[in-house]
Amino acid sequence: MIRARATGAKNRPVIILGLSAQNLKRLRKGMPIHVHCDELGFAGELVIFAGETEAELAKMFKPFIGPETVVHDESEKKRN
């Protein structure tokens, strides 16, 4: 994987991630990718995971949910 930080439109920071074929294989096997954002000048950690359905993603996401978690589900927008 390659990681980069750039400046986009209106001087907004942009995080760039390039995933290799091996990264995609790991994701398909249910192995999330963790990116330490401090390497890019941001606080926190980015977790990337993949699944066939939103329900499957929700199961994978469950270990990361805490009292301050905010979830944005794109499938909800499609239904409305």
SS3 category, 63: helix
User: Which run of H or E residues covers position 21?
Assistant: helix 21-28
Residue 32, pLDDT above cutoff 50: yes
Residue 59 resides in a domain: yes
- Across the chain, mean pLDDT equals 85
- Which residues span the domain enclosing 17? 2-66
Count up the domains in the chain and report the number: 1
Residue 50 resides in a domain: yes
Q: Is the pTM of this model over 0.85?
A: no
Residue 74 resides in a domain: no
Query: Which of 41, 48, 46, 45 lies closest to 20 in space, CA to CA?
Result: 48
Residue 77 resides in a domain: no
Task: Work out the end-to-end distance of the chain between its first and last CA atoms, rounded to an integer number of angstroms.
Answer: 36
Residue 78 resides in a domain: no
70 CB burial (10 A radius; 0-12, 13-18, 19+): exposed
Q: pLDDT confidence of 27, banded at 50, 70, 90?
A: very high
Residue 58, pLDDT above cutoff 70: yes
Place of tokens 């990361």: 64
Residue 80 resides in a domain: no
Residue 72 resides in a domain: no
